[in-house]
């Protein structure tokens, strides 16, 4: 049986008919390699943004069902045009929307999750030698309603299709050459990673590097689909391969540095030091769908028998969080509530930091030497994040990138002197 390669092309890769012609070449080259090819496309250029703006001029609060009806059209345009371009090169090709394939999602509009993908039609057409082009970002419910997967969701469509078809690989073609050690706009000598693990990529994605839709990486990890991120503009560059940590050769303790300025910090002061207070606060936030990232509870003050709880949330969730805080403030008997949006989170990420002492202390020392004050710290097995003042963010990223030698091939010296985390 032939190997199946799933290729996904983002908006900039299919922005106009010239770009679509070059994508058709990339697709048919893969077919010439002797593989079966399933292509997933995003809407052309900024089509989706444009559709959103049009909707908003007609109705500030459009129904989610109609938004899905509207936004799902963008991908239908690019799938048909790309199929025509492939056919013009003398290949057999056919396009399908999500309903035709059977990409079933839950019954939720604008951010549905994929539940099941039917593969019979795809396999039949592949067996007939055809190249298949599928509309990304969209799905269908069991009662025939059109849904979408959330902005950037075509990546997830592609990975889910690759998993369902047991594909050899999923290639995500985009406008960058791969995954970088940090944002090359901030650190010009940032280097492209040849390999990175799913776990690291997920942490990078959540820490503010928006190369891939995080859910696509989760799906790839779950079904062990090897993912390649590469440029549709520079095809001689193989990009970055994302795979299981067990299949990688780790040579650097830190793979990347990320920065996220989309959070705000909330401090609830003088909460009585009794059981159940944190549960009330975070339980109420969870009920309003506000996800919390970093949390610090201070040591209880003996004199007043109270402590402070500081936490960070996404800026967009502030209105809901404020509602919750107004509700629970009296219940908690809390004092002042302080909200601070002058913050940034910088994170270092690396599967190689497991069992490697000194990484955390090197990070803290580097920030200290740059005169940067750390306001909160959180850690996971493969990530250390520090909350700092927003104006220090770029300086912090540059200093950390430098100290962990991410711009070159040498392994960083991480012998710290402070206790390890």
Binding region for ligand ASP (CB under 6 A): 10-11, 42-43, 48, 74, 136-137, 151-154
With residue 103 as reference, give the H or E element that holds it.
strand 103-105
Q: Which of 45, 74, 152, 352 binds Mg ion (CB under 5 A)?
A: 152
Distances (CA, A) of 375 to 295, 336, 378, 391, 392: 11, 19, 10, 13, 12
Of 6-14, 267-275, 291-299, 345-353: span binding Mg ion (CB under 5 A): 6-14
Tell me the number of residues near Mg ion by CB under 5 A. Answer: 2
Residue 74 touches which member of ligand ASP, Mg ion, none, C-beta under 5-8 Å by kind: ligand ASP
Nearer to Mg ion, 105 or 174 (CB): 174
Would you say 9 and 45 are in contact if contact means Cβ atoms under 8 Å apart? Answer: no
Q: Is 10 in the site for Mg ion (CB under 5 A)?
A: yes
Nearer to ligand ASP, 82 or 324 (CB): 82
Q: What does R_g of the chain's alpha carbons equal in angstroms?
A: 24
Residue 137 touches which member of Mg ion, ligand ASP, none, C-beta under 5-8 Å by kind: ligand ASP
Among the residues of 33-190, which ranges form H helices?
47-58, 64-88, 98-101, 120-127, 154-164
Q: Is 45 in the site for Mg ion (CB under 5 A)?
A: no
Which residue's CB comes closest to ligand ASP? 154
Which residue(s) pair with 37 in the sheet? Answer: 5
Nearer to ligand ASP, 48 or 83 (CB): 48
Residue located via tokens 């403030």 = 329
Distance in Å from the first CA to the final CA of the chain: 50
Residue 153 touches which member of Mg ion, ligand ASP, none, C-beta under 5-8 Å by kind: ligand ASP
Nearer to ligand ASP, 68 or 277 (CB): 68
Pick the closest to residue 229 from 249, 209, 246, 245 (CA basis).
209
As measured in angstroms, the least distance from the Cβ of 336 to Mg ion is 41
Helices 277-287 + 318-332 axis angle, to 10? 150
Nearer to ligand ASP, 217 or 372 (CB): 217
- For 80-91, b/e burial (b = at least 16 CB within 10 A) is ebbbebbeeeeb
Nearer to ligand ASP, 228 or 265 (CB): 228
Q: Is 136 in the site for Mg ion (CB under 5 A)?
A: no
As measured in angstroms, the least distance from the Cβ of 154 to Mg ion is 6
As measured in angstroms, the least distance from the Cβ of 154 to ligand ASP is 3
State the DSSP string of 187-201. Answer: -TT--B-SEEEHHHH
Other CB atoms within 10 A of residue 6 CB: 28
> In angstroms, rounded to a whole number, what is the distance separating the alpha carbons of residues 411 and 389?
29
As measured in angstroms, the least distance from the Cβ of 235 to ligand ASP is 20
Residue 139 touches which member of ligand ASP, Mg ion, none, C-beta under 5-8 Å by kind: none
Tokens of 151: 């902005």
Nearer to ligand ASP, 137 or 173 (CB): 137
As measured in angstroms, the least distance from the Cβ of 353 to ligand ASP is 31
As measured in angstroms, the least distance from the Cβ of 415 to ligand ASP is 43
> In angstroms, rounded to a whole number, what is the distance separating the alpha carbons of residues 315 and 407?
32
Nearer to ligand ASP, 230 or 345 (CB): 230
Residue 48 touches which member of Mg ion, ligand ASP, none, C-beta under 5-8 Å by kind: ligand ASP
Q: Is 153 in the site for Mg ion (CB under 5 A)?
A: no
Nearer to Mg ion, 10 or 45 (CB): 10
> In angstroms, rounded to a whole number, what is the distance separating the alpha carbons of residues 277 and 308?
11
> In angstroms, rounded to a whole number, what is the distance separating the alpha carbons of residues 420 and 29?
50
Q: Which residues bind Mg ion (CB under 5 A)?
A: 10, 152
């Amino acid at each position: 049986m032939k190997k199946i390669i799933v290729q996904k092309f983002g908006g900039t890769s299919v922005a106009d008919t010239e770009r679509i012609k070059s994508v058709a070449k990339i697709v048919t080259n893969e077919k010439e390699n002797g593989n079966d090819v399933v292509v997933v496309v995003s809407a052309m250029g900024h089509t989706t943004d444009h559709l959103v703006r049009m909707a908003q001029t007609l109705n500030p609060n459009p129904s989610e069902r109609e938004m899905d009806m509207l936004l799902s059209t963008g991908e239908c345009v690019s799938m048909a045009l790309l199929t025509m371009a492939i056919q013009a090169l003398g290949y057999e090709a056919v396009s399908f929307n999500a309903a035709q394939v059977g990409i079933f999602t839950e019954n939720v509009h604008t951010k549905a999750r994929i539940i099941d993908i039917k593969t019979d039609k795809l396999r039949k057409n592949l067996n007939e030698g055809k190249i298949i082009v599928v509309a990304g970002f969209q799905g269908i419910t069991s009662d025939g309603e059109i849904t979408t997967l959330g902005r950037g969701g075509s990546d997830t469509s592609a990975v889910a299709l690759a998993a369902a078809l047991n594909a050899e690989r999923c290639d995500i073609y985009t406008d960058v050459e791969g995954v970088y050690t940090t944002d090359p706009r901030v650190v010009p000598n940032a280097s492209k990673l040849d390999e990175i693990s799913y776990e690291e990529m997920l942490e990078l994605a959540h820490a503010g590097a928006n190369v891939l839709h995080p859910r696509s990486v989760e799906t790839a990890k779950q079904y062990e689909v090897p993912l390649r991120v590469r440029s549709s503009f520079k095809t001689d560059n193989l990009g970055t391969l994302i795979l299981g940590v067990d299949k990688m050769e780790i040579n650097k303790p830190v793979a990347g540095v990320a920065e996220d300025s989309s959070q705000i910090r909330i401090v609830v002061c003088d909460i009585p030091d009794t059981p159940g207070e944190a549960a009330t606060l975070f339980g109420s936030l969870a009920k309003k769908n506000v996800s919390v990232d970093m949390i610090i509870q201070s040591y209880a003050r003996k004199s007043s028998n109270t402590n402070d709880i500081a936490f960070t949330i996404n800026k967009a969730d502030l209105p809901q969080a404020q509602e919750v805080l107004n509700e629970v403030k009296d219940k908690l008997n809390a004092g002042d509530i302080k909200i601070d949006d002058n913050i940034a989170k910088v994170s270092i990420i690396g599967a190689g930091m497991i069992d490697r002492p000194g990484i955390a202390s090197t990070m803290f020392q580097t920030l200290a030497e740059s005169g940067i004050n750390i306001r909160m710290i959180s850690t996971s097995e493969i990530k250390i994040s520090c909350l700092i003042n927003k104006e220090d963010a770029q300086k912090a990223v540059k200093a950390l990138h430098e100290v962990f030698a991410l711009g070159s091939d040498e392994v960083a010296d991480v012998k710290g002197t402070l206790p390890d985390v």
